Amino acid sequence: MTADVWLPIPPDEIEGLPEGLRYLFWDGGESGDQEFPGDPADCAVYVVPYMKRWPVKVRPLEHLTHVQVIQTLTAGVDDVTARLSAIVPGVRLCNARGVHEASTAELALTLTLASLRGIPEFVRAQQEERWRSAFHPALADKNVLIVGYGAIGSAVEDRLVPFEVARVARVARSQRTTARGPVHPLTELPSLLPEADVVILCTPLTEESRGLVDAEFLARMKDGALLVNVARGAVVDTKALLAEVENGRVMAALDVTDPEPLPPGHPLWHAPGVLISPHVGGPTSAFLPRAKRLLVDQLNRFVNQEPLRNVILTTGA
């Protein structure tokens, strides 16, 4: 029997899909209750719909009794791992490494530059038809600390280089050496924070990173430093962050928040020195061509029984 592949992109829009599989389109629909495109028991590869609510993404999981691969189109997989109990054993969970690096790194730099150079103030002044000149810090000559030095963290550093920053420090779960210099372990984070003018969060959300940016973390940041979060909202303790931005000691540029979406009336909306974008690190014109290339490569590997890329874990292992 031909195995089914559930795709959130219409199959006829993806060139290079291998033969030998039956491709079915399913993205959950506008309301999230779209009927399944076939018998879930026949689905061998489930590609998780992109930019859909969490209940939509995970709705099929308990029905995919013979699934072999779950492929996300996001770098983070915490929304799926939260439902591991619903997934049968032996399933390879793969993320979308290689898809979002360019877009997310662009946004990290955009948020950094916009915050430092006071762009939100200029936008407000323009709306009020006021010519309001001001002196703002530059990114040049600043010390930047990247927390979470994986593919996205590395892409952020690629884009920092032309801006003449004074130094880039890198932190990841484990220590290693790269062509650009050392990557420090998380245990050294407390000693690195006081030197950073800009701290950019790129770390995945894990039990280790949840609430990483707490009151102690923020207290170690220098006065006037900027925190940029393009990771996950829950990496930051929102209450602790509010305490620091409301007294004006640090600034923040957040593409992700906790809670998310940020509800009307939440104090983060109007906190001084805070710039918020609505989780748009990935959805740009760069997404679709990279997502299609990833799917074609992965499915060819699957058909040819070659090792898959980006395997995060195997359930039940």
Give alpha helix (H) positions in the chain: 54-58, 78-81, 101-116, 119-127, 151-160, 189-192, 215-220, 238-246, 287-303
Cβ proximity of 76 and 104 under 8 Å:
no
Cβ proximity of 78 and 203 under 8 Å:
no
Cβ proximity of 202 and 146 under 8 Å:
yes
C-alpha 187/C-alpha 80 separation (Å) is 28
The Cα angle at residue 194 between residues 277 and 120, in degrees rounded to 5? 25
279 is catalytic: yes
C-alpha 206/C-alpha 30 separation (Å) is 30
Residue whose entry in the numeric block shows the structure tokens 């076939």: 38
104, two tokens:
């997310």
| Region of 8 on the Ramachandran plot (φ > 0 left; ψ -120 to 50 alpha; else beta) | alpha
- The rounded Cα 91 to chain-centroid distance in angstroms is 23
Catalytic residue (choose from 63, 100, 270, 279)? 279
C-alpha 102/C-alpha 74 separation (Å) is 13
* DSSP 8-state code for residue 22: E
> Which residues are bridge partners to 61 per DSSP?
none
Cβ proximity of 121 and 174 under 8 Å:
no
Q: Tell me which residues are annotated as active site.
A: 279
